[in-house]
Homo-oligomer: A and B are copies of this chain.
Amino acid sequence: MQMKTGVEQAVYALVLLSLLPDKAALPGEAIGSRLGASPTYMQKLLRRLGNAGLVQSSAGAKGGFRLKRAPGDIAVYDVYLAVEGRQSMFAPRGTLQDMLDRPGQGCGCRLSALMDEAEASWRSILGRETIETLAEAMRSGGYEAELTDLRQWVRNASRKDEIA
Interface positions of A (Cβ within 8 A of B): 1-5, 7-9, 11-12, 15-16, 34-37, 76, 84, 87, 89-96, 98-102, 108-111, 114-115, 117-119, 121-123, 125-126, 128-129, 133-134, 137-138, 141-143, 146-147, 149-150
Q: Is the CB of B143 within 8 A of A37?
A: no
Known contacts A3-B89, A36-B95, A94-B36: A118-B122 contact under CB 8 Å: yes
Please name all residues of chain B whose beta carbon is closer than 8 Å to the beta carbon of A108 when the two chains form the complex. Answer: 141-142
The 4 closest A-B pairs by CB, nearest first: A36-B98, A118-B125, A100-B146, A122-B122
Q: Is the CB of B99 within 8 A of A35?
A: yes
Please name all residues of chain B whose beta carbon is closer than 8 Å to the beta carbon of A37 when the two chains form the complex. Answer: 95, 98
CB distance from A14 to the nearest CB of B (A): 11
Please name all residues of chain B whose beta carbon is closer than 8 Å to the beta carbon of A5 when the two chains form the complex. Answer: 91, 93
